[in-house]
Amino acid sequence: MPRTPIPGVQNLIAVGSGKGGVGKTTVAVNLAISLARSGRKVGLMDADVYGPNVPLMMGVRATPHAIGERIQPIEKHGVRIMSMGFLNPGDKPLVWRGPMLHSVIQQFLRNVDWGESDYLIIDLPPGTGDVQLTLIQTAPLTGSIVVTTPSDVSLEDARKAIHMFQQVRVPILGLVENMSYLICPHCNERIDVFSYGGGKQTAETMNVHFLGELPLDPSVRIGGDSGKPVALGDSPGFTALAHEVERRAAEVSGAKRPVVEIED
């Protein structure tokens, strides 16, 4: 399948995980906001059509309208957003089968007016299934980010996601270890709820870049549940992650196009 570029989009970055519930959407949302806050033009495409949590986390419910044939994304917190949650709000599940999914994902990629964007972040559904495969085979991805927790169960699935990206030759910007540890709000002691260190170790073993660890911080969850992600305020973890992602995106783009461009 051809990987046709999306006009105006400089970097297309997919955020995936083998396992759900590891904080993939939290990372995608806060990464998008961090990039926007540092002056980048950013789009966020919620490709998790069955469980689209981006609208809740971004605190926005709206119905996108079209100008001509082009669907207009919804802007919130400086980020242009498209999500199935805008088109199918409420609690009714989508029980679509594969082909309809492919069609909606292609529409989100091709028919949404993403405009001039430095980054379009795609929040993939968890796992290594149908939607993921179609998307990463047809989208001109700059690179991918894999999110895991330090638990063995999550790492087992993260390794599968890494293999999937490698199989289809999508550069892996790196692995993020989320929910690394919790600082007890009562006694300030550290609790390794989901174990510790497995992310870095897995990155080393599999020879992928380690993008860093993010603590299990109740304020991050509260930010997501309330539609005000922590990256809107001072969030050193996500700021550092955004820098790392920018650096890696430039690196793999440079590797693909070994032409030195001097910016004026």
| Contacts with its own copies, residue ranges (CB under 8 A) | 18-22, 25, 50-51, 53, 56-57, 91-98, 125-130, 132-133, 149, 151-154, 156-157, 159-164, 167, 182, 184-187, 189, 191-195, 216, 218, 221-222, 224-225
| Cα–Cα distance measured from residue 24 to residue 32, given in angstroms and rounded to the nearest whole number | 12
Minimal CA–CA distance to 234: which of 213, 220, 224?
220
Amino acid, single-letter form, for residue 185: P
Alpha-carbon dihedral angle through residues 95, 139, 238, 252, given to the nearest 10 degrees = 150
CA distance 57 to 221: 9
Report in angstroms how near the CB of residue 253 gets to its own copies at its nearest.
26
Question: In this structure, are strands 74-76 and 79-83 parallel, antiparallel, or unpaired?
Answer: antiparallel
Q: Tokens representing 101? A: 């999914």
Q: Shortest approach of its own copies to residue 180 CB, angstroms? A: 13
Nearest approach in angstroms of CB 15 to its own copies is: 14
